[in-house]
Amino acid sequence: MSAQAKPSSTQRLEQALAAIDQAGDEGRRTFTRLYTSDARAAAAAADARSRAGRCFGPMDGRLVSIKDLFDVAGEPTTAGSVILQDAAPATRDATVVRRLRAAGAVIVGKTNMTEFAFSGVGINPHYGTPGNSRDAARIPGGSSSGAGVSVARNFVEIAIGSDTGGSVRIPAALNGIVGFKPTQARVPREGAFPLSYSLDTIGPLCHNVADALAADAMLSGVDLEPGATRSVPGLRLGIPRGLMFTEAQTEVLEAFDRAMALLGGAGARLSDEAMDDLLGEPFRLQEQGTLAAAEAASIHQHLLKEHPEAYDPIVLGRIRHGETIGAARYITMVQARTQLLRHIDARLAGFDALVLPTVPLLAPRIDALSEERAFLRTNGLLLRNPSVFNFFDLPALSLPAPTGTGLPVGLMLVGRRGADRDLLAIGSAIESVLTSANR
């Protein structure tokens, strides 16, 4: 192989498997299952296609991990729990897993996650907690914890996660990578263990927006065709000052301001916007309980009766709270949300995107969250900004903000409903400006 030749899928896979093994306990905490033999066969097949000039597309031969809540035929889907270890094996692959295989992707393994995807912190008392890629003593973010770490530590090139209140974007932000949450209807959820029927989405975590675009095309079943590119000059970016910036650490605000200075200098039209009247509505509407908790209580009703003692106590408490939400209250929330979607669509009509911190915190230490009160406060802050845009069903993209040194900070871009491809094009343009600052 010449010095300039790109390593084959098999070579990259062997390097990844060696890195996972060398990571020891961290590797074992990142993955709940490795598909070593199948991955080697898939990589060899991708290499054979490449030599024959029959590449399936941009995902062919790429190393991918899948979150532990996606069905793989012949094995139980545990969703980060011990309760489902002895569940009946899945009879078929989840839709997104079938699409990965059809695209020629090399599925390296299943990644660890918060039990039943019900936390943005990423701690799992059953399988261990994968440490943050920058400092293993710190949280990885959740619920797609292993997904974020698997990409950030170069165990895989792309991870597929789920996002109900930020579970793709939070680990992306805390580990310094890209995470994309699509409009909900864009990616089918068949074969993914649910947390919330109303809010669940499926999206990729990766190193750059180009990979997010390729993964999104595969996940959504849309052909990856050259689309209209966007450039930063003239972009109309609204900054929703107020609630979304409260309780933010100084390092996060400084990184955000640095990013805005770069974008403004590149010709973006930035404007501070007072939007708390609308962005605060999801919190006011869900003060007595959330949509996610109510729907989780329904999803888990049988498991709660049979095995309540086997749950993570914090997850159990959050699901139990959903049991207190009556039918009338739940229907009121659903109907009010439908009305609010129209209002947010109208408010965003004048912008190409909103831009704000993905989360207001740097990754805290795992041992600082051992008490439930500290855990729940941190969880609430991590979920606050991203969860708003699940509620409004808007596509959202987290990019690494330029920090120079220190722990990662995420910059979140929010687009118009259904304009996922346009948001990714905007993200690509912004990424170019931000990454140039670190060269």
Active centre residues (catalytic): 67, 143, 167
Which residue bears the tokens 């996940």?
219
296 near 322, Cβ under 8 Å?
A: yes
Number of separate helices (H) and strands (E) present in the chain: 16, 11
CB 385 within 8 A of CB 166: yes
Q: Which residue has the tokens 């947010």?
A: 344
User: Which token pair is 265?
Assistant: 């200098």
Q: Which residue in this structure is represented by tokens 């970016």?
A: 237
Q: Edge-to-edge strands of the sheet including 353-357?
A: 31-34, 106-111, 63-67, 158-163, 201-206, 178-181, 396-400, 410-414, 353-357, 236-239, 269-272
Burial class for 412, CB neighbours closer than 10 Å (0-12, 13-18, 19+): buried
Distance between CA atoms of residues 55 and 40, nearest Å = 17
Would you call the peptide bond into 143 cis, given omega within 30 degrees of 0 as the criterion?
yes
SS3 category, 72: coil
Residues contacting 427, CB < 8 A, separation 6+: 178, 180, 209, 212, 397, 399, 413
Contact predicate 63/204, CB 8 Å: no
Residue 194, strand partner residues: none
